[in-house]
Amino acid sequence: MARVRMYQALLRAHSREAGIRLVRQVMYEVAFGARAALLVGPYTTGTLAGSIEQDGPHVAPGRVFGTVGSHLPYARAVHDGAKIHWIFPKASPGVIRFGSRKRPQLRFFWRKKGKIVYMPHVPGSPSKIGRSHPGQPGKHYLSEPLRRSGRLHGFRVIVYDI
């Protein structure tokens, strides 16, 4: 989630209405840039881009602020990146019976096959069963548009973890 804050010194230089207009403009620029960044690259379906929301601007004593981000569970992993990690199926709902045994299965759309498949783990070499997500670099789809907007409007941007 990207957060924009304008403190008292800057608010004194601008009127409250100008501060609201500026925060609204920055939020729009960040949301637009985030959506544009998320619509390119491999494995792009547009779901994350469509979930980008703006909240604000809000006025509090001495500041005007707003937020831009997504509430999807994987949004942070796409923004910050992901390390190599294990993926195992849950016990349900994808339980499939093989003979007398029930084995939980992962259900996912495999682009290479062009269909939904069920597997006990994400395909890979047998020695890497469970270590099935190769990791990915972060897209920084919120922080980069925020930095661009900051340069455009002449303010310093500090990005921190929330």
Task: Let me know whether 39 and 64 are in one domain.
Answer: yes
Residues 89 and 63 grouped into a single domain: no
| pLDDT for res 119 | 72
Both 98 and 121 in a single domain? Answer: yes
CA distance 100 to 98: 6
What is the pLDDT at residue 29? Answer: 94
According to the model, what pLDDT value does residue 103 have?
A: 65
**60/120 same-domain check:** no
- Report the pLDDT value the prediction gives residue 63, as an integer from 0 to 100: 84
Give the up-direction half-sphere exposure of residue 118: CA atoms within 13 A in the CB hemisphere. 11
pLDDT in tens, 14-37: 577 888 888 899 999 999 999 999
pLDDT at 95 (0 to 100) = 52
How far apart are alpha carbons 2 and 80 in whole angstroms?
Answer: 12
Q: Does 121 share its domain with 108?
A: yes
Establish if 158 belongs to a structural domain. Answer: no
Question: What rounded mean pLDDT belongs to the chain?
Answer: 77
- Tell me how far apart the alpha carbons of residues 67 and 23 are, in angstroms, rounded to a whole number: 10
Same domain, 9 and 57: yes
Residue 54 has pLDDT above 90, yes or no: yes
When pLDDT is cut at 50, 70 and 90, the band that residue 156 belongs to is confident
Ranges of beta strands (E only) in 70-149 are 81-82, 95-98, 101-104, 106-110, 115-119, 136-137
Q: How many domains does the chain fold into?
A: 2
Give me the pLDDT at residue 71, please: 92
Instruction: Find out whether 6 and 65 touch, Cβ atoms under 8 Å.
Output: yes
In 3D space, the residue among 144, 145, 98 whose CA is nearest the CA of residue 119 turns out to be: 98
Same domain, 50 and 106: no
Residues 43 and 102 in one domain: no
Strand partners, 59: 64
What pLDDT score does 52 carry? 93
Is the pLDDT confidence value at 74 over 80? yes
Question: Phi and psi at residue 146, in whole multiples of 5°?
Answer: -65, -40
| Structural domain contains residue 34 | yes
Residue 55 has pLDDT above 60, yes or no: yes
Give the lowest-confidence range in 87-91, 107-111, 143-147. 87-91
The CB-side HSE value for 36 (13 A sphere, CA atoms) comes to: 8
Same domain (yes/no): 75, 89: no
Whether 121 is covered by a domain: the verdict is yes
Same domain, 99 and 41: no
What pTM was computed for the model? Answer: 0.67
SS3 state at 33: helix
What pLDDT score does 33 carry? 93
Q: Which domain holds residue 96?
A: 84-128
d(C-alpha 144, C-alpha 127), whole Å: 38
